[in-house]
Amino acid sequence: MTIEWIDSENSGSPNLLSSRDALSAGHCDEGTAAAITGILAGLEQGRTDAAGTLEKLQVLLEQIRHTPNGIARVSRMNAFVRTLGRADNLAFFLELMRKSLKSARLSDRKIAERSRAGLTHCLYGWVGQSHVLYSERSPLPSTTLAGNEVEDHMGYPVAEWHASIHIWQPNPDARAFESLKRFEPGVLVEPPHSHPFSFVSYVSIGAMRESIYQETSAPASAGSADRYQDVDLERVDGVWPPHREYVRRRLRTVEDRVDLVQGQSYFMSPDMIHDVEVDRATSVDRPAITLFLCSETTQVPNSYMVPSMAEFHRGHPDLTRQGKALDLEEWDAKLDATARYLRGETDYLRLGEIVKCGSSYAFMNQ
């Protein structure tokens, strides 16, 4: 069976909708799903402790990284996020992180501490984005070589995989950029961008929408409702300044506002340009949460910025210095509140009352 979203012959026609439908209904490796279920059950059965459970999950992630690129790899990645990302399992995972970080032994705290000490918790303007598990860093026969120039540009080991939790709730102080796109009141949307890697993402709770774009030089047709119709954007390398290039480009919408709801997952390749959109009012206290697993980095991605954002980046080349780790109290409270929200013990989540980001920058348009 030909699968459009992973068929190399169709790479010029990315299809998010097909990917969502295919991965939400199948392509979920049974062995990986069973392994995660068994690992999580080990703590309740007394076969391991919190730190040991996290270590076993990280070993499983490394085993998936050894899978050659193709449908089998995507199926294993999909099983990983769909099983661990299920709301009750993800809540349990966050409790494991809390317990591990409170251990008196440094070795027990290693995985949770690396997550807490990350600098991306608030960097994008969302109040809850955290890497939680990592693979080994060495290249493998199964990982695509990216070249030294990509690693130098990205600033991290490109063969490394990571799993991360995205909480799609804006920092209360975040100020989205006024874009020139079509008028969409009440919506927050990322600037269109590609990624440096392939990934699979699963919606653990809530809902959001995504659109897919392609570069174009043709004028929009009369009566078109394209989101960025006749808007000159600036394509930059990467997400963070300083950028090596600013190139004027236009985009056309290939897939418009595809719905993604709790229980659905999808695959995205590095050649796809997309954005994530959320309802501003809903995101304030009932945000979507996704579990995201990426493969190795293979390229420098692109972002397509409205002029005001591009100008801000030109004037703030050290923007990433605003990234900060969460202190132990913030981290524990964030994990506790998020776990309770995932379990349905509370119908709201307001991380802005817990995490003080200290920045108004937002990788968002309004």
Mean pLDDT of 136-140: 93
Q: Which of 291, 314, 334, 342 has its CA nearest to residue 83?
A: 291
pLDDT band at residue 1 using 50, 70 and 90 as cut-offs:
very low
| 3 inside domain | no
Phi, psi of 170 (to 5 degrees): -70, 140
**Domain extent at residue 62:** 11-353
| Phi, psi angles (nearest 5°) of residue 254 | -95, -45
User: What pLDDT is attached to residue 222?
Assistant: 62
**What distance in Å separates the CA atoms of residue 93 and residue 91, rounded to the nearest whole number?**
5
pLDDT tens-digit profile of 236-288?
999 999 999 999 999 999 999 999 999 999 999 999 999 999 999 999 999 99
Q: Tens of pLDDT along 274-320?
A: 999 999 999 999 999 999 999 999 999 999 999 999 999 999 999 98
**Total number of domains constituting the chain:** 1
* 365 located within any domain: no
Neighbours of 15 (CB within 10 A): 19
Instruction: Write the pLDDT tens digit of every residue in 33-68.
Output: 999 999 999 887 877 888 899 999 999 999 999 999
What average pLDDT does the structure give for the chain?
A: 90
Cα gap 58→36, rounded to integer Å:
11
Sequence letter at residue 56:
K
pLDDT > 90 in the chain, percent: 68
In a domain? residue 60: yes
Whole-model pTM? Answer: 0.94
Q: Give residue-wise pLDDT tens across range 167-187.
A: 999 998 888 888 777 677 788
Q: Does residue 284 sit within a domain?
A: yes
pLDDT of residue 7: 47
Is 364 domain-assigned? no
> Does the pLDDT value for residue 326 go beyond 80?
yes
Question: In the structure, what pLDDT confidence band is assigned to residue 195 with cuts at 50, 70 and 90?
Answer: very high
In a domain, 4, yes or no: no
Residue 1 is assigned to a structural domain of this protein: no
Instruction: Note whether residue 38 is domain-resident.
Output: yes
